[in-house]
Chain A
C-alpha cells in the first residue's frame, strides 16, 4: 500500500499565483441536502492577512476545512499557490477548533507542538535536535516555555489555543488556516496571539482567519470576507492605502 506522507517532497509554487484562489466552491456535508458553502469565489494574495467573518453556521469552518483538504467540494476548484489541495502539505498549516483535540491524551505541550514538524519528517524519521530547537523558539515566542512539560489538559483555554497556534507556526507553512484562534481566550493570550499573527506579515506569510471578534478587525486584517449561510456576502479592504499585494479579484455569485 502506497501511503505518501510528505517528508521532503516540496512542490514548487506557480509563479505569481495567489496564496489561495477559490472558484465556485460548493461544499455539501454527507447526509445533508443544503450546501454549507454555495459557489464561493475569492482570492487571497500572498502575504495578506485575511479575516473570515459571519455568524455560527455561516460556513467559515467549512471553507477552512475544504482548503485544508478535510472536506471534498461538490463543485468548484481550490488553488493554493496555483496548485490543487494536497499538492504540498508543507505549505498549509491548519489550526483546528479546540474541540477537535482530545486534551486528556497523555502528551506534553512540547510534544503536541513538535507534531508541527512531522510534515517535514514523514514516515519513520524521528525529530532531530534542529526540530526541537524550532519548537523551543516558538514556545518561547508564545510564552509557553514554562508549560512545555505539562500534560495538555493542565493548560487553560487560552494556553491550549496558544499551543495549537505554536504547532501551526512551527510547521513554517506559507498559508495558515486558523479556525477561531481567539475564541474563549483570556486577554493575555489574546495579546500574545495577536502579536504572533502580526509577526507573520513581516515574514511574508499568508493567513486566513475565521473569527468572531469584530472589534479590531480593521486594525488586524488587510482583507475581510463576510459569509452568510454559505454565501460570500461582502469582501473589502479595511485600509485601502495599505500595500496588500498585486491582485484582488473578488466575485460572488448565487
Chain B
C-alpha cells in the first residue's frame, strides 16, 4: 500500500506536479472563500478565459507563457474594475461581452497555430508538464497572495459584508475590490497550469462552496477549503498516474465529490436541528 502511494513520486515530474497542485489548490481555495462570499464566481471564470489571448500571443512570440497570461489577466482585472465603476452597462453584462470576445480572439489566434497539442494544454491544463522554473513563480505568487489576504484580513472581511460602514471609517471598498481582482488574476494564471482555462473557476469556487456548507466562520472556511483542494489534488494526481486520465479533470471532479459530501452533511445537520 505504502509502495503504491509512494511509487508515483519517484519521478521528479510527479513531485513538481504535486508541489504545484498543492500550492495552487491552497491559494485558490483561500481566495475562493472571498470569491464565493462576494459572489464573484462569474468574474473568476471570465478572468480565466480572457487570459487565453495573452497565452497565445506569448506562445506565438516565443515569450514566457506565464508572462503573457499575467499581463492579460491584469489587463482584464483593470478593465472589469473600470467598467463596473462607470455603471453604464451592468457589470455582469459587461464581463459577459468582454470575456467572450477575448476568448474568441484567443481561439482565432490559436487556429493560426499548427501545433494544437501545446495549446490544448492551455485549455485543459497539464500539471505534469510544470517545469521547476514555473514552480518558483507559482510559489512566489501563492506566497504573495496568501500574505496579502492574511495582512488585510480584517479590511477585506469588513468590506465584504458591510462596504457602507467601511467607507464611513475611511476604507475605500472599491480599491480593496480592485486589489482582490488583481490577486484573482494572478491566482487564475497559476491555476491554468493545473486545470486549464476552462476548469479554473471550479478550483476557485467548488472547495470554498463546500467549506461554506460546513462552517460559518471565515477562517475555518478558508482552512477547510484548502484541505479539500489539497486532498483533491492528491486524488487527481493518483488517478492520472494509475488510471491514465486527464489530471485537471480528475482534480475538479474530486472537488465536486467533496462538495456533494458537504452538501449531504449539511442536509443531515439541518434535518437534525429541525427535528
Contacts and interface: CB of A to CB of B under 8 A. Distances in A.
Interface size class of B (residues with CB under 8 A): 20 to 34
* Top-5 shortest CB links A-B: A105-B161, A119-B169, A151-B216, A94-B168, A102-B161
Contacts of B169: 5-6, 89, 118-119, 171
Which one of B37, B160, B171, B221 has the greatest number of beta carbons of chain A within 10 Å? B171
B167 A69 contact: yes
Interface in B194-242: 212, 215-218, 221
Interface stretch (B61-69, B149-157, B185-193): B149-157
A4 B215 CA distance: 34
Given A94-B165, A101-B161, A106-B212, A86 B218 contact: no
B3 interface: no
Contacts of A89: 168-170
Interface in A84-133: 86, 89, 92-94, 96, 100-103, 105-108, 111-112, 115, 118-119, 121, 123-124, 126-127
Contacts of A152: 161
A201 to B, nearest CB: 23
B164 interface: yes
Interface residues of A, number: 38
Nearest to A67: B168
B168 A106 contact: no
B168 A92 contact: yes
Given A6-B169, A107-B218, A115 B151 contact: no
Given A106-B221, A108-B217, A115-B154, A5 B162 contact: no
7 contacts: A1-B175, A5-B155, A6-B169, A102-B160, A107-B157, A107-B218, A123-B155
B158 A118 contact: yes
Contacts of B164: 70, 94, 96, 100
B151 A124 contact: yes
A115 B155 CA distance: 9
A3 B162 contact: no
A45 B161 CA distance: 33
Contacts of B155: 5, 118, 123
A162 to B, nearest CB: 16
Contacts of A31: 87
